[in-house]
Structure 1
Amino acid sequence: MSTAVIGSGLDPTVQIRGFGFRGRQFPVGKAARTLPAPAYSASSSPSVVTAVATPEVKRSKVELFKEKSNFLRYPLNEELVSEAPNINEPATQLIKFHGSYQQTNRDERGTKSYTFMLRTKNPCGKVPNELYLAMDDLADEFGIGTLRLTTRQTFQLHGILKKNLKTVMSTIIRNMGSTLGACGDLNRNVLAPAAPYTKKEYVFAQETAENIASLLTPQSGAYYDLWVDGEKIMSAEPPEVVQARNDNSHGTNFPDSPEPIYGTQFLPRKFKIAVTVPTDNSVDILTNDIGVVVVSDSEGEPQGFNIYVGGGMGRTHRVETTFPRLGEPLGYVPKDDILYAVKAILVTQRENGRRDDRKYSRMKYLISEWGIDKFRSVVEQYYGKKFEAFQELPEWEFKSYLGWHEQGTGTMFCGLHVDSGRIGGKMKKTLREIIEKYKLSVRITPNQNIILCDIRRSWKRPITTVLAQAGLLQPKYVDPLNITAMACPALPLCPLAITEAERGIPDILKRVRAVFDKEELFQVGLKYKESVVIRITGCPNGCARPYMAELGLVGDGPNSYQIWLGGVPNQTTLASCFMNKVKIQDLEKVLEPLFYNWRRKRVQGESFGQFTNRLGFDKLHEFVEKWDGMVDAPSRYNLRLFSDRHTYEAMDELARLQNKTAHQLAIEVVRNYVAAHQNGKAD
């Protein structure tokens, strides 16, 4: 295990493993936490970190890499200065903690060309003016010429060569940015609504998100040792953050360790947190390991937080014991306790999450195994208090923050839709000019869009004109299908991708729109303003959160997708797998009958996801299986079986009594009529 204590947190004694204690027995609780920690050297040698246990617990190789790394330094420090264009396997795992993934271009054949993807850490999606300009420059000078906005409110730079990594990293750090903890087995970027409102609730939610991010940032200094030669370029932390990190009243910390919260092993797997205000589900709150919701009094003054736990999207194809999961209510805490409560939850996962098989290492599996009551009980031991009852919340809404909005200080902000978050070409040049000219700060949304902040009213007209010329349109001019769609990068650079996502989604959205637009008799005929939340990923890891979509496409083979149905527009319902291995060329065979029947059989105001949940998959499969090419039949055979809608509706009702489609019944009637007359003529 990763820490000084192993087990459920409830057993009277446990084995101490992985920290040089050599298998001695110690009681669980504060006493176990007050033991002197092993001494660690600041050198690169891994020999100071040992893992001697009797008997040894099975652990994944990543756990061994972390343990021997001297807090994320070795052997990454040696690999970075080697002549090779790539780094070895242990270093590949460790560099993730520093915010980078090693990649190759999978479109190319022959010798692998290694590059690195960098991901920034931007709590709340906040990007200072100087950081945006620096990222824009780095993309051109060292990357592939584009910036990518992610679903966790960060930037990604692709195509960085190993020899340029230090230059790029140090430039980001010196321009008020960071990549520390953007990847790896620790807390990732903390989400919060990106809207730069001055409303009290929003400001408080964003400050809380920043404090949580600061609390859970690695402390050993390895990041600065590797990328800026040990220079600490950090802003001052709020005293409440320092106090919460150092507090060991309930046995959460490793005393005297360079990593008081994480220890040598960090977490079993990645950890995701989001903070928001009631009704605002721009952050997909239920998909996070921890979801934090501000609770205010009748005057709008924040009083505390509701906490959800156990969300997560990743899964493995055809392994039913892996699954996406929604967060569930844990309880309520007063506002001054939030850092201690979050720390207690994270430590519970640190102590008890599985480290033998990474497929099952996310906290959602721990909660699914234990149940929420046992999980709450263990967390309360580290928190030192009982959680209060979860407070009632209003319905959630998805908020995109696209278009122009009042910021609240006499200024405005403008949310811009960016397809799949990819900023390049004329769009990139225009955004650079506007952000530089008006000295704007920027925010990235969890839907891969960008918000320009602090805009004076007098700037609105010239900015709108320039944006439109670059194709950055007001939301009313963007196809509603595109507004809510998301895709992960997938091919060609992601090593996990099975099929296309970002490169494939433009054509898929056009094909869905074409199905919607079929207006002739028998055909779908959905209105332009009607939309469906579509999300596409190239593998089952779920980076674009497809399991919350009304229509999720998850790559499960070359040019092949699983189809997931049942999410809803406000992202509060989990989708389920409807079909496996649907070839990209066959999508219409599934989507046409589904959308056709949605239009015909929905109740008033019913979204596509709500419709699929109400009817159930048995009925939906029946629609698909009985679909006989109705939409294609008129063009294929030039048949017009009905002259008016009234006749068609009457035939449709009669057909349903016979478990047929109107088209099938009409064909039978015509055939019988023709056959009868032919026979009569022959007689």
Structure 2
Amino acid sequence: MLRTKNPSGKVPNQLYLTMDDLADEFGIGTLRLTTRQTFQLHGVLKHDLKTVMSSIIRNMGRTLGACGDLNRNVLAPAAPYAKRDYLFAQETADNVAALLTPQSGFYYDMWVDGERFMTAEEPPEVVEARNDNSRGTNFVDSPEPIYGTQFLPRKFKIAVTVPTDNSVDLLTNDIGLVVVSDENGEPQGFNIYVGGGMGRTHRMESTFARIAEPLGYVPKEDILYAVKAIVVTQREHGRRDDRKYSRMKYLISSWGIEKFRDVVEQYYGKKFEASRDLPEWEFKSYLGWHEQGDGAWFCGLHVDSGRVGGNMKKTLREVIEKYKLDVRITPNQNIVLCDIKSEWKRPITTVLAQAGLLQPEFVDPLNQTAMACPAFPLCPLAITEAERGIPSILKRVRAMFEKVGLEYDESVVVRVTGCPNGCARPYMAEVGLVGDGPNSYQVWLGGTPNQTQIARAFMDKVKIHDLEKVFEPLFYNWKLGRQAKESFGEFTTRLGFEKLKELIDSYEGSPNN
């Protein structure tokens, strides 16, 4: 498997077509859209690797920093709005990605014999922030001024967004940045959140999923310096003796946010200001047709578990090639077609629908918010099914909804992973199923539809054939006893796990049947 790096999920037309070709020629015939807005290409043989990698690099892409103990792909809202705050968030994601990209030439020496195809000059503010060593953050005379020879203790994840838009699962990242604008819509600075992370290990309570917490506010001209200071703090103080505990969330959990802030401020050289007030968060899928604000349209398309193959893949290729469209990948494993002229809307909609790429009103609400990792047979860490299992799980959840009398437009956020590493972020779901044995899942409950509250482990070793025994009583009592507009996750949190287990044990079936 190889993974690309696409800040903000941006994929130029030329790169999409190249990835589509490579999937057929060197992969398993499918592309996968990931939960970090990138492509995964599965099934590449070792002797084809240089051909595949060089093709990606020569066609406006790269894999540098998509894996390893460094900053991974930087998330930002995929919507190509011509709005100042969205454009600024995406520009910031690009700059943060550039700041923290490895600087040695080995990557290009290895895959394209030293040729440099990414010729665009870096913004001067990125170069200046990277080279600044006024606070002792850099390795002097090193090809890697920020990373040095050891890089970071573990992988590192960053997301940038605008107020209300939690399409990026902001609080699951090591660093979350939120654009703060003035009353005229002009960006002024950023609220910063730190310490999120999903990975954990079964039966080791010392490992845990965690959501980020507020660090403070910085003016926009300081954001690269603040991000660099946080990364350097993790580089210098994150644990290197045990990879299970080397994510930044464990450092912050050990130190506490006050000590962490004090150390970061030493590398930053300033005090953080108090975080600015923000409105409530919402999950935004960007499915369907939307005006960009520049005269063009974009169309968000739902892709089950991000797997693009078969007739869907063929049709997407035809549309993207015919209309020369750029695309974007969303953090929810969907795809956005960009810069569509008004006169193209009808023919594009017709062709896509014929391939099963439907408008959101024709996609089950459960499917629209669900996610799953690849798991079997593609991931060596998998304990049980996720991507291959979630279609039947969602159908069974829908059947339970119908049985207890819940309406079609009602939904819960379901996320499934084949192991506890949490690549599909199940610990933020209202219903998280985490593989813990053959055909068996640990059940997590209590996340919210806007991904602002972490779930908790409810049951272990629930066999796949027993899901109805657990969830039908809970869905029935949610319908019966919820407060106004109370989501399933909020309902399970309010009642508490002891009461939920009592409801399961005493359930005698829905009177609707």
Q: Is this a same-fold pair by TM over 0.5?
A: yes
What residue in structure 1 maps to residue 47 of structure 2?
163
Q: 2:213 matched to 1:333?
A: no
Q: In the TM superposition, what whole-angstrom CA distance separates every residue of 1:176-227 from its partner, at most 9, and x where no partner exists? A: 0010010110000000000000000000000000000000000011111110
| CA drift at 1:230 | 1.2
Give the whole-Å Cα distance in 2 for the aligned partners of 1:543 and 1:277.
23
What residue in structure 1 maps to residue 289 of structure 2?
404
Give the whole-Å Cα distance in 1 for the aligned partners of 2:241 and 2:250.
13
**One of 422, 425, 430 as aligned partner of 2:310:** 425
Give the whole-Å Cα distance in 1 for the aligned partners of 2:106 and 2:267.
28
| CA drift at 1:304 | 0.4
What residue in structure 2 maps to residue 456 of structure 1?
341
Give the whole-Å Cα distance in 1 for the aligned partners of 2:87 and 2:400.
43
| CA drift at 1:242 | 0.6
Q: 2:370 matched to 1:485?
A: yes
What residue in structure 1 maps to residue 450 of structure 2?
570
Give the whole-Å Cα distance in 1 for the aligned partners of 2:30 and 2:430.
29
Give the whole-Å Cα distance in 2 for the aligned partners of 1:346 and 1:558.
38
Give the whole-Å Cα distance in 2 for the aligned partners of 1:371 and 1:634.
50
What residue in structure 2 maps to residue 587 of structure 1?
467
| CA drift at 1:575 | 0.2
**One of 478, 488, 494 as aligned partner of 2:379:** 494
Q: 2:185 matched to 1:300?
A: yes
What residue in structure 2 maps to residue 239 of structure 1?
124
Q: 2:453 matched to 1:601?
A: no
Map 1:278-427 onto structure 2 (within 5 A): 278-427=163-312
Q: In the TM superposition, what whole-angstrom CA distance separates every residue of 1:454-487 from its partner, at most 9, and x where no partner exists? A: 0000000000000000000000000000000000
Give the whole-Å Cα distance in 2 for the aligned partners of 1:392 and 1:514.
41
Q: Is the 8 A contact 2:405 2:512 kept in 1?
A: no
Give the whole-Å Cα distance in 1 for the aligned partners of 2:186 and 2:405.
48
Q: How many residues align?
A: 512
Give the whole-Å Cα distance in 2 for the aligned partners of 1:237 and 1:169.
22
Q: In the TM superposition, what whole-angstrom CA distance separates every residue of 1:232-268 from its partner, at most 9, and x where no partner exists? A: 2222111110110010000000000010000010000
> What letter corresponds to residue 66 of structure 2 in structure 1?
A
**One of 538, 559, 576 as aligned partner of 2:418:** 538
> What letter corresponds to residue 356 of structure 1 in structure 2?
D
Give the whole-Å Cα distance in 1 for the aligned partners of 2:413 and 2:121.
41
What residue in structure 1 maps to residue 84 of structure 2?
200
**One of 416, 440, 444 as aligned partner of 1:560:** 440
> What letter corresponds to residue 490 of structure 1 in structure 2?
A
Give the whole-Å Cα distance in 1 for the aligned partners of 2:504 and 2:239.
41
What residue in structure 1 maps to residue 111 of structure 2?
227
Give the whole-Å Cα distance in 2 for the aligned partners of 1:228 and 1:203.
32
Map 1:97-246 onto structure 2 (within 5 A): 117-234=1-118, 235-246=120-131
What residue in structure 1 maps to residue 138 of structure 2?
253
Query: Which TM-score applies when normalising by structure 1?
Result: 0.74
Q: Is the 8 A contact 2:163 2:178 kept in 1?
A: yes
> What letter corresponds to residue 104 of structure 2 in structure 1?
S
Give the whole-Å Cα distance in 2 for the aligned partners of 1:384 and 1:221.
31
Map 1:29-44 onto structure 2 (within 5 A): none
Percent of residue pairs identical: 81
Give the whole-Å Cα distance in 2 for the aligned partners of 1:211 and 1:167.
29
Q: In the TM superposition, what whole-angstrom CA distance separates every residue of 1:81-121 from its partner, at most 9, and x where no partner exists? A: xxxxxxxxxxxxxxxxxxxxxxxxxxxxxxxxxxxx01000
Q: In the TM superposition, what whole-angstrom CA distance separates every residue of 1:138-167 from its partner, at most 9, and x where no partner exists? A: 000000000000000000000000000000
What residue in structure 1 maps to residue 160 of structure 2?
275
Give the whole-Å Cα distance in 1 for the aligned partners of 2:512 and 2:496.
30
Q: In the TM superposition, what whole-angstrom CA distance separates every residue of 1:333-352 from its partner, at most 9, and x where no partner exists? A: 00000000000000000000
What residue in structure 2 maps to residue 672 of structure 1?
none
Unaligned runs of 5+ in 1: 1-116, 519-523, 636-683
Q: 2:357 matched to 1:443?
A: no
Give the whole-Å Cα distance in 2 for the aligned partners of 1:220 and 1:306.
32
> What letter corresponds to residue 205 of structure 2 in structure 1?
E
> What letter corresponds to residue 591 of structure 1 in structure 2?
F
**RMSD of aligned residue pairs (Cα, Å):** 0.9
Give the whole-Å Cα distance in 2 for the aligned partners of 1:578 and 1:319.
16
Give the whole-Å Cα distance in 1 for the aligned partners of 2:25 and 2:406.
46
Give the whole-Å Cα distance in 1 for the aligned partners of 2:345 and 2:194.
41
Query: Which TM-score applies when normalising by structure 2?
Result: 0.99
Q: In the TM superposition, what whole-angstrom CA distance separates every residue of 1:399-422 from its partner, at most 9, and x where no partner exists? A: 000000001111000000000000
**One of 408, 418, 428 as aligned partner of 1:528:** 408
What residue in structure 1 maps to residue 429 of structure 2?
549
Structure 2 residue matching 1:517: 3-state secondary structure: helix
Give the whole-Å Cα distance in 2 for the aligned partners of 1:182 and 1:413.
26
Higher relative CO (CA 8 A, sep ≥ 6), structure 1 or 2?
2
Structure 1 residue matching 2:42: 3-state secondary structure: strand
Give the whole-Å Cα distance in 2 for the aligned partners of 1:236 and 1:151.
29
| CA drift at 1:627 | 2.4
> What letter corresponds to residue 183 of structure 1 in structure 2?
C
Give the whole-Å Cα distance in 2 for the aligned partners of 1:233 and 1:453.
24
| CA drift at 1:133 | 0.2
| CA drift at 1:626 | 1.8
Map 1:511-522 onto structure 2 (within 5 A): 511-518=396-403
Give the whole-Å Cα distance in 2 for the aligned partners of 1:177 and 1:313.
27
> What letter corresponds to residue 125 of structure 1 in structure 2?
G
| CA drift at 1:634 | 9.7
> What letter corresponds to residue 267 of structure 2 in structure 1?
Y
Q: Is the 8 A contact 2:11 2:328 kept in 1?
A: yes
> What letter corresponds to residue 90 of structure 2 in structure 1?
Q
Change (3 A) 1:634 1:413: closer
**One of 137, 148, 161 as aligned partner of 1:263:** 148
Give the whole-Å Cα distance in 2 for the aligned partners of 1:503 and 1:265.
37
Q: 2:503 matched to 1:616?
A: no
